[in-house]
Amino acid sequence: MRASTFVYPWDVIGDPEAADRMAGLGVQQVTLASAYHSTRALTPRHPGHRVVTARHAAVLYPPDERRWAGRALRPYTQDWAGAEDAYGEAARALRAAGLDVHSWVVLAHNSRLGDEHPRVNVRNAYGDRYPWAPCIAQPEVRAYLVTLAAEAAVRPGTDTGGTELESCGWYGLAHLHAHDKTGGVPLPGAAQFLMSLCFCPACEAGYAGLGADPEELRGAVRGALAPVWAGEWVPGSDEWADVEKLLGADLAGLTMVWRGSVARDLQRGAVEAVRAAAAPGFRVLLHADPHAHRCGANAGVDPGWVLGHADGLVLPGADLVAACAPHARPGTVLAANFPVVAGMGGSPATLAADAARAAAAGATELRLYHAGLASAGDLAAVQAFLAGAGGR
């Protein structure tokens, strides 16, 4: 299977050996970040630095001022990636080493946007705002994300092979935060969903349009969470069945009718905008989870619907590939994404077995997260696996 590894531009810029080192792993392509969220990243092989702190979400290229003129919501620029057009410079180096370059675009995950424009935040049933999570039901948020998708995906230096859109859907409670203190009460999948339901004005209007009283729904969500806070809830094996038990099947279904329609509208709009900006044959993949109620970087999707619009999905692990495989069409990409950084929970030593399971489940490609963050030992294991799998 074709293999790609994720890379940040700052892994490449300023390191004359980086591109050849990536090519030497045996991958055919890299998935290079062009729009990314805030992070602190180790760069264990870079000759000029060891830690890069991306202080806020930003695009890693110069945005088109004409495109964004007059908009309150617009992408932020950066000064930490080593060049103004960090994406373009890194892409040129990687292509010169013989690698295909695909863009990697993070959409509905932006803490600075939420801090500066609190009206756009997801608001939970208790009234708390999530500044890292812009509500995709709000028209100005959708317009911002669709425009960003088109601009950040189709960058000079990107191959016609395409782009990968991350967090192209609902974002919610789950979020790695500085000095995080949210683990005191376990929140299984059903509780995560309930804590991620949005009650901003746009979502309240959406619930009302489906016949629900937003205040009654807010109260029902709080009531449903009461046994979770009391430590009296024991989750079952089916997250959505748990949501229905906690909230009631009718209200749970109503929330998903609203959220599903909003997510599909964004996903369709983003895919269409990228295709309109790109050359023919440019593939648009979504980082996704086939459980439609889930939210986060791997946005929940209806696989049967989304594969009628996008060219494929990037899925964490073989099991989720298997859930999507029955909906694949001729030419559909199902890429199994495996973490290979042992220090971050990855398992490079089991790549051969993991890849075999993914292939049996219907995967057509592999994604390896993340060559820039990995240790020397992790990279040696990746190289050995790819050499055994046929190399480049």
Residue 90 CA neighbour count, 13 Å, CB half = 31
d(CA 135, CA 109): 10
Q: Is the pLDDT of residue 391 over 50?
A: no
Q: What separation in angstroms does the CA of 149 have from each of 8, 224, 347?
A: 18, 36, 31
Q: Tokens for 142?
A: 């959708």
pTM of the model: 0.97
Q: Given this model, what pLDDT does residue 125 score?
A: 98
pLDDT average, residue stretch 312-324: 97
Length of the chain: 392
**DSSP symbol at 283:** -
Q: Is the pLDDT of residue 79 over 90?
A: yes
Burial (CB count within 10 angstroms: exposed 0-12, middle 13-18, buried 19+), residue 280: exposed
- pLDDT one-digit tens code per residue, 254-287: 999 999 999 999 999 999 999 999 999 999 999 9
Q: Tokens for 346?
A: 């990855």
Q: Tokens for 360?
A: 């049996």
Domain 2-179+259-388 in CATH 3.20.20.80? The answer is: yes
The proportion of the chain whose per-residue pLDDT surpasses 70, expressed as a percent, equals: 98
pLDDT average, residue stretch 127-141: 98
Of 292, 280, 277, 273, residue with least CA distance to 107: 273
Q: Given this model, what pLDDT does residue 89 score?
A: 98
